[in-house]
Amino acid sequence: MNKRSMRILGFYQVQNMLVQLTPSRLSKEIARRLRPSSDETEIRQMLNDTEEAYLCLQREVSTPFGGITDIRPALEKAKREVTLDGQECVDIWNNMERYSAVQAYFADRKDLYPHLYEQAQSIGEFSFLSHKMAQVFDQNHQIRDNASPELLRLRNRIMELERQTKRYMQSVLQSKEYQKYFQDVLITIRNNRYVIPVKQEYRHAFPGIVHDTSASGSTLYIEPMAIVNANNDLQAARIGETREIEKIFRRLTTQVREKYTDLYESTLCTGQLEFIFAKAQLAQQMKACRPDISKSGLVRLLQARHPLIDPKVVVPNTIVLGGDYRILLITGSNTGGKTVSMKTLGLLVLMHQAGLFLPVTEGSELPVFRDVLADIGDEQNISQNLSTFSGHMKQLIYIIKHCSANDLILADELGSGTDPAEGSAIAIAILEELYQKGAYVMVTTHYNDLKNYAYRTEGIENAHVEFDVETLKPTYKLRIGSAGSSHAFSISERLGMPKNVLEKARDLRSKAQDVNMEAILTKLNNQVKQVDEEQAELEKRLQETRRLEDELRKENEKVREKRQDIIDSSRREAVDLKRGLRLEAEKIIRELKEQTKEKLTEKERTKAIEQARRAIQQISLPEAQVEKRDPVDLARLKAGQQVYVNSLSGLGTVTEINCKKLTVSVRGMTVRVKASDISAPYLSEIKQEKQAEKKEATRSSYRPIRTGAVATEVNVIGMTGAEAMPVVERFLDQALAAGFSPVRIIHGKGSGALRKAIHAFLDRQPFVTSYRLDDAQNGGDGVTLVYF
């Protein structure tokens, strides 16, 4: 990518924001090296990484990053066989622990973040080396006494010599003979040897070696002659300790050198993962999202915000480029946001091709550009004898010579800095050349000739930034589809231009040839703004209407379901009442049989009983309230369509249409109904029907084995108590009416909860004389036999 364009558009400022979010020196280096790519595969990979890290930050409580040290200098020392020091070894040990944590973290989440998991696989396995480090260093990063047998022996020797030396020194200090010689009654150390502070005047009275004097010269630090050999032995032991530690570090250095490649690659991999998560943090900070890569070459940035402008004051704009036009000409007032809109597009393109998320809304898309070339700002240079116009022309000439198809060209104030007529002509010629090269172009201008050129030329579109003529301030909103006025008079008035000067200017302007165009543009833009406001208001009202419609539909659905629940409850109560009456009647009939054995003949008795039973069966139940439904349009009705059959109170599927007669499949039955007997089903009924079909398919084993038309057993294994009771109740009614006894209820063993629920139900049924569990050969605890 063009470095000048990256500087002008502010890419390096965004890059610095990213650097601030990276936690380690290595990840900061990677962030500083970040550059936009023009390879679609690479861009897609970078965006995939950022997206997975973004999701990870949203989902997970924490991430395993932080605390990584740049150990590359230490690794290079080990590679050259230069012995590492203690801190370098500790840094490598800490890093290996972090590497293992990172690898384990993504191994546990490889299905959620496959791209990050794949990168984490580059981290090596360092358990052996880490174990060796742990044998040398403790948790406080101090060298253990038992890091080696020799070190343990030497440290024990040092401790013993120190105890002996201190014991003798204490005896000297406590001696009454020497008390007057001492400045302080304490033991101190000079030159790594134990000494006693002695007053200057007793220098020759106390035998020993002087190692140091106090700042005032009144105190001498003397090593008593009697402990010189002990101090010598202590020094020798300490030197031996230092040499043994060096041997230990040399061994560790050799082991680090053997793992050099794995450690180096793991360091780079972890730094790269830290950098990826920094990109995700930047996306969160900007409230950004991932745009799609456009296959059609369309630029569509919805509600795009410039990432370097304060989010509290930035005005989002929708930028569209490509499709019917590849050149967008932006006009409007100064300080109105023309350059900001152009810089927003350029910077977001650079960020996108660097694998960063963009401050736009979902649905945005960008193609992959080969390069971004910008001519923004004043390139006047006195030392090079360049005027403003010359500076612009020099950059535009470079752009024309080097641009090609799939480049994005951004030019501010095209053709300005010279005679307006000549500048307009040059600008039009440049636009035509760029269009022929196939580039995407966004330019700003104040020239009316360019506005007219855009209106009458295919492939070029006008746009403008709004200006509020009432407040005399820009709104910074970009409007694509019409050109705008520069509003020079309004801006000058706001800035305090004298009225007489403005009036003279307006009078001169009114005599210009293109004054009508300015008036037309102003009127047109006001109309466009009014239409946009009305459209926004209509959309707002439409959304509110849809919301109210949804709420009303839900309320109606609740009322309908509640009413249906009340009706169904009433019908269930009536069915229970009828069943109770029937059972009571059967009891009465049995009593009548006993009482009339001798008084009536067999034929008369049978006739009376049958009359009583028919009377019971003729007891009517309350009919369900018939709800008025929408009729079905027979002209559009097709086979396979679901309808509601009024007479059967259920849904059915049309299998055949014959004039006003229909063949409908309802609950496994095929019936012929009149067209007037069908209505439109509710959406909720269709959903319930589909759910019922799924349950029926999974519970095919619950269908009872039948003898003739009535079942002798029912299988309710897998049902809950609430699901099983209606099935068992219906089965017992059919069996009782058919005269079967006993019958079998197959409920399975399981936890026993279903069996207990069924037995409790049987206890409440007056027509059940007894029940028991079946024998072991026929099901045992999983089957109940019921006797009527």
pLDDT in tens, 239-250: 898 899 999 999
More confident: 605 or 27: 27
Query: What pLDDT score was predicted for residue 251?
Result: 92
Radius of gyration of the chain from Cα atoms? 47
Phi-psi map region of 765: left, alpha, beta (phi>0 left; psi -120 to 50 alpha): beta
Handedness of CA 536, 541, 546, 550 (dihedral sign): positive
Highest mean pLDDT among 119-128, 629-638, 662-671: 119-128
Residues contacting 786, CB < 8 A, separation 6+ = 732, 735, 741, 742, 743, 744, 745, 762, 768, 771
In this prediction, residue 608 has a pLDDT band, given cuts at 50, 70 and 90, of low
- Cβ-contact 419, 387 below 8 angstroms: no
Task: Give first-to-last CA distance, the chain, whole Å.
Answer: 91
Selection from 697, 733, 737 nearest residue 714 by Cα: 733
The DSSP letter of residue 537 is H
Angle 711-715-721 from CA coordinates, rounded to 5°: 120
Residue 205 scores a pLDDT above 80? no
* Ramachandran angles phi, psi of 458, nearest 5°: -70, 140
Least confident window among 92-96, 287-291, 700-704? 700-704
Q: Give the helix/strand (H/E) hosting 714.
A: strand 713-715
Residues contacting 602, CB < 8 A, separation 6+ = none
With pLDDT > 70 as the criterion, what percentage of the chain qualifies? 78
Phi-psi map region of 722: left, alpha, beta (phi>0 left; psi -120 to 50 alpha): alpha
Query: What pLDDT score was predicted for residue 703?
Result: 46
Same fold: 3-126+263-286 with 147-249: yes
Mean pLDDT of 346-368: 93
Fold of 147-249: MutS, DNA mismatch repair protein; Chain A, domain 3 (1.10.1420)
- Structurally, at CATH architecture level, domain 292-502 sits in 3-Layer(aba) Sandwich (3.40)
Q: Is 338 annotated as a binding residue?
A: yes
- Cβ-contact 144, 137 below 8 angstroms: yes
Q: Is 554 annotated as a binding residue?
A: no
User: In Å, how far from its chain's centre is CA 63?
Assistant: 14
In this prediction, residue 702 has a pLDDT band, given cuts at 50, 70 and 90, of very low
In this prediction, residue 541 has a pLDDT band, given cuts at 50, 70 and 90, of confident
Query: What pLDDT score was predicted for residue 604?
Result: 65
- Inter-CA distances, 147 with 82, 126, 237, 244, 426, Å: 21, 19, 16, 10, 81
Residue carrying the six token digits 């009583």: 612
Query: What pLDDT score was predicted for residue 385?
Result: 43
More confident: 385 or 572: 572
Helix (H, G, I), strand (E, B) or coil at 312: coil
Selection from 228, 224, 235 nearest residue 157 by Cα: 235
Query: What pLDDT score was predicted for residue 708?
Result: 43
User: In Å, how far from its chain's centre is CA 237?
Assistant: 61
Residue 378 scores a pLDDT above 60? no
Query: What pLDDT score was predicted for residue 386?
Result: 52
CA distance 12 to 334: 26
What is the DSSP pairing of strand 371-375 with strand 407-411?
parallel
Domain boundaries defined on the chain: 3-126+263-286, 147-249, 292-502, 533-617, 642-697, 700-787
Helix (H, G, I), strand (E, B) or coil at 35: coil
- Cβ-contact 336, 468 below 8 angstroms: no
Query: What pLDDT score was predicted for residue 209?
Result: 81
Query: What pLDDT score was predicted for residue 625?
Result: 52
CA distance 98 to 92: 10
More confident: 273 or 611: 273
- Inter-CA distances, 384 with 6, 305, 394, Å: 23, 37, 12
Least confident window among 219-228, 261-270, 374-383? 374-383
Handedness of CA 514, 519, 524, 525 (dihedral sign): positive
Three state DSSP letters for 636-657 = CCCCCCEEEECCCCEEEEEEEE
Q: Is 715 annotated as a binding residue?
A: no
The amino acid occupying position 297 is G
CA distance 37 to 681: 57
Mean pLDDT of 59-84: 87
- Cβ-contact 262, 126 below 8 angstroms: yes
Q: Give the helix/strand (H/E) hosting 40.
A: helix 40-59
Q: Is 332 annotated as a binding residue?
A: yes
Outline where 438-514 has alpha helix (H): 448-456, 488-494, 499-510
CA distance 238 to 242: 6
- Taking only the tens place, the pLDDT of each residue in 616-636 is 555 554 554 556 677 887 777
Residues contacting 332, CB < 8 A, separation 6+ = 338, 464, 465, 466, 467, 474, 484, 485, 486, 487
* Ramachandran angles phi, psi of 137, nearest 5°: -110, 145
Q: Is 271 annotated as a binding residue?
A: no
Q: Is 270 annotated as a binding residue?
A: no
Three state DSSP letters for 347-399 = HHHHHHCCCCCECCCCCCEECCCCEEEEECCCCCECCCCECHHHHHHHHHHHH
Query: Which residues are bridge partners to 465 per DSSP?
Result: 332, 478
Torsion angle, CA of 349/354/356/358, rounded to 10 degrees?
A: 0
Angle separating helix axes 127-136 and 86-107, nearest 10 degrees: 140
Query: What pLDDT score was predicted for residue 707?
Result: 42
More confident: 664 or 272: 272
Q: Is 415 annotated as a binding residue?
A: no
CA distance 68 to 203: 56
Residue carrying the six token digits 């960063």: 356
- Taking only the tens place, the pLDDT of each residue in 380-406 is 443 444 567 777 788 888 888 888 888
Q: In what order do the strands lie in the sheet with 365-366?
A: 292-293, 365-366, 299-304, 317-321
- Taking only the tens place, the pLDDT of each residue in 99-109 is 999 999 998 88
CA distance 129 to 137: 12
Q: Is 333 annotated as a binding residue?
A: yes
CA distance 262 to 717: 59
Query: What pLDDT score was predicted for residue 382?
Result: 39
Query: What pLDDT score was predicted for residue 381?
Result: 45
What is the Cβ-side half-sphere exposure of residue 298, based on CA atoms within 13 angstroms?
A: 13
State the DSSP string of 470-488. TTTEEEEEEEETS-----H
- Cβ-contact 761, 731 below 8 angstroms: no
Helix (H, G, I), strand (E, B) or coil at 773: strand
State the DSSP string of 219-246. EEEEEEGGGHHHHHHHHHHHHHHHHHHH
Query: What pLDDT score was predicted for residue 383?
Result: 41
Residues contacting 470, CB < 8 A, separation 6+ = none
Average pLDDT of the residues of the chain = 80
- Cβ-contact 465, 336 below 8 angstroms: yes
Query: What pLDDT score was predicted for residue 705?
Result: 46
What is the Cβ-side half-sphere exposure of residue 616, based on CA atoms within 13 angstroms?
A: 20
Query: Which residues are bridge partners to 221 per DSSP?
Result: 197, 212
Fold of 700-787: Ribosomal Protein S8; Chain: A, domain 1 (3.30.1370)
pTM of the shown model: 0.61
In this prediction, residue 598 has a pLDDT band, given cuts at 50, 70 and 90, of low
CA distance 280 to 357: 8
With pLDDT > 90 as the criterion, what percentage of the chain qualifies? 20
Q: What is the CATH number of domain 3-126+263-286?
A: 1.10.1420
Q: Give the helix/strand (H/E) hosting 208.
A: strand 208-213
